[in-house]
Structure 1
Amino acid sequence: MIKLIAPPHLMKVYLKRHCDKLLPLIRTRLDQPENLCLKDHFKTDGEILEILAAKPNDLVPLHEKIVSDLEKLHLPVKVWTALEKAFNETEFFRKERVRYNAYTLVRSLKQPTCLYCNIHQIAPVYLEKKISRPPIDHFFASDLYPGLSLSFYNLIPACTACNTIKSNKPTSTVTHTHPYLLGFGDDCMLTLSNFRNLDDLTGKKIKPFKIVFDNPTIDKRYEGNISLFALAPTYQTYRGKAHWVMRTMDQRSKAAVDSALKLVPGVTDVNYWDVFGVDYEIEAHKRSPYSKLTRDLVRQYASQEIKTLLSI
């Protein structure tokens, strides 16, 4: 739903580190007797690095070609089992501080919110004797593509809910939005149904409304993610957030906004998005929980004065 945002030069650093750290591990695994069949394809470090660093659109075609070529020489079950062992992610997911692993990757990417739902916060937490991190989702399920289990662009930090809902369901960059490639744009906005105006939220009888996706059919990849992650029913459980955003907009005036900002002591250069409970900087706002819901509702329902203050 939200595109992963990181400076390109840093992404190159993260990708290179990922490949450099995992290359020796995989090379060692390929030398094990039960995995020797894979060396008919992975003859040099270049072939290993290719699958570790392949771009999202290239991952599945590359995996299918490797499997097809190897199955011409070996029994399919042997090839599949060897891929599962050689590229197994268990060791990469271990909770150790002294080595490069999934915790290092999540910390480096600095994505505070689930990229699939834009609702739940995700960040590793380091305690004295314990580490907690969000799940790492395989965008292309490891059960279906075992050779992609350690591929950089197949490892997506996600919340527990989205990781569980998605499970091992099949995906593709043609039918779903991949966080490294595409987020939901302004052509597919979260909006409110059964809603006429702000007065519906202020009377004695608050009229019920639903959060829905407007125009999701404009891109089938939007529809794919909405269905895959059950985003429509998920957002219904967070109508309170939409209600709060709408009531905040009911202030309507710059004076009210300025008054709200005074509640944040010591802040001088602040973005007006803070009024809506998100980060000061616009780039940080885009990665905050509910950032799309908040922005979409403001774009549709706020007064022009508020829109001007928020630069939208």
Structure 2
Amino acid sequence: MIAIKSNLQRNLDALAEHHCAELKPSIIARLGSLKTRQQTFINQNIDRILTGKPKQLSDLLSEYKKFCTAKGRGALLAKNINKGLKSVFNYKHFSRTNAPVTEYSAYTLVKKLDVNTCPYCNRNYTVTVDKKKRVTRPDIDHFISQAKNPLVGLSFYNLIPSCLVCNRSVKNQQPTVYGRYIHPYEEGFGTATKFNFFSLDVDSLTGLSDNYIVTVEHNTLEPEKVQRCVNNCKLFKLPEIYDAAHHGEIADIVRRHYISGGKYLEMLQDTFPQLGSIDDLYKIAFGTFWNEEDFIKRPLSKLTKDIVDQLVFINPVKPKSAIFL
């Protein structure tokens, strides 16, 4: 799990406000089909519904149910509180592939988010190709199920760009509850959960074969977060998928470690002193990113960093003669 972090290029709160401004008028215009209690709550809370952070969305759902079912005129049965909401918070219309290029849609949202890899697995690219013609975009997962909670079907912080495998094949319609799982708009695995590997023969010790077992390790010093990480690993089948798919990448890293005695980064720095920083050296060495905040840019950045740390590559402490051209 990789965090989708707010930064200068991706200001999440600003994107959420824009999302609200674009969708709010059409949602308000469709409220007439709902019961009075539903209309009242949505009118009073529409900005919170569209821009609320993950914890706020969880609280809003409880508030909505309580408001709609409270005794008094217009009270609804609990089984009826979601009736009509799918048409009002019309995700199907928002996500259609033939939306005009000038219209705010799912394509617009994911393009602005610029999330290049799936935050759930960090295995697959999730780039958006949308120039003169809309070609492809990532799937969008609803962290809180829109089928059971259509009130948050268009909520910005409930829309997670993801790969098809994670969204449709692995997670599918399995429910997630806020607080029990890692939410990518709030955090990633960080140091709480790391990938690990074990060699099963002599050749794999030097990267000449890819006979490994890949597992995940959990940091006992972060017990509360670890439990959320464990739940995500189970939900997205990460240990099983990584163990089945990525032995070859691990063998490549092991080989670099073996032939350099752990000094592969030092060797690169001696050869290319103009690279200077550990970020530059690391990207050349392993094809991924050193800093966790950049993991979202390229697949397998988390796995690579964890394996590099496990092997204890010797990193240059200071640039020897950094030359910036």
For the aligned pair, the TM-score class normalised by the smaller chain equals 0.7 to 0.9
Partner of residue 113, structure 1: 117
* Aligned position for 1:243: 251
Deviations 1:231-275 (A, max 9, x none): 11110112211222222233333564248869xxx9787711121
RMSD between superposed Cα atoms in Å: 2.9
The match for 1:85 among 84, 87, 99 is 87
Shift of 1:25: 1.1
- How do 1:170-189 and structure 2 match up within 5 A? 170-189=175-194
Structure 1 equivalent of residue 14 of structure 2? 13
In structure 2, relative to structure 1, the CA distance for the partners of 1:213 and 1:280 (3 Å cut) is closer
Is 1:215 aligned to 2:188, yes or no? no
Distance 1:84 1:121 in 2: 30
Distance across 2 between alignment mates of 1:125 and 1:182: 27
How far, CA to CA, are the matches of 1:126 and 1:5 in structure 2?
23
Which of 269, 275, 287 is equivalent to 2:297? 287
> How far off its partner does 1:198 sit?
8.4
TM alignment of 1:1-312, pairs within 5 A: 1-7=1-7, 10-32=11-33, 34=34, 36-42=36-42, 44=43, 46-72=44-70, 73-95=75-97, 96=99, 97-126=101-130, 128-164=132-168, 165-194=170-199, 200-202=205-207, 206=209, 208-215=211-218, 218=223, 219-236=226-243, 237-250=245-258, 251=260, 252-253=262-263, 254=265, 256-258=267-269, 271-274=280-283, 275-279=285-289, 283-285=293-295, 287-304=297-314, 306=315, 308=317
Higher deviation after alignment, 223-232 or 165-174? 165-174
TM-score (norm 2): 0.82
Question: Sequence identity of aligned pairs in percent?
Answer: 28
Report the CA distance between 1:35 and its aligned residue. 5.2
In 1, distance between residues paired with 2:200 and 2:175? 36
Q: Which moved more, 1:64-73 or 1:289-298?
A: 64-73
Moved more, 3-12 or 130-139: 3-12
The one-letter code sitting in structure 1 at the alignment partner of 2:92 is T
Question: Which secondary structure state, in structure 1, belongs to the residue aligned with residue 103 of structure 2?
Answer: coil
TM-score, length-normalised on structure 1?
Answer: 0.85
**TM-superposed deviation, 1:88:** 2.2
Unaligned runs of 5+ in 1: none
SS at match of 2:22: helix
Query: Is the Cα contact below 8 Å between 2:145 and 2:173 reproduced in 1?
Result: yes
The offset of 1:23, in angstroms, is 0.6
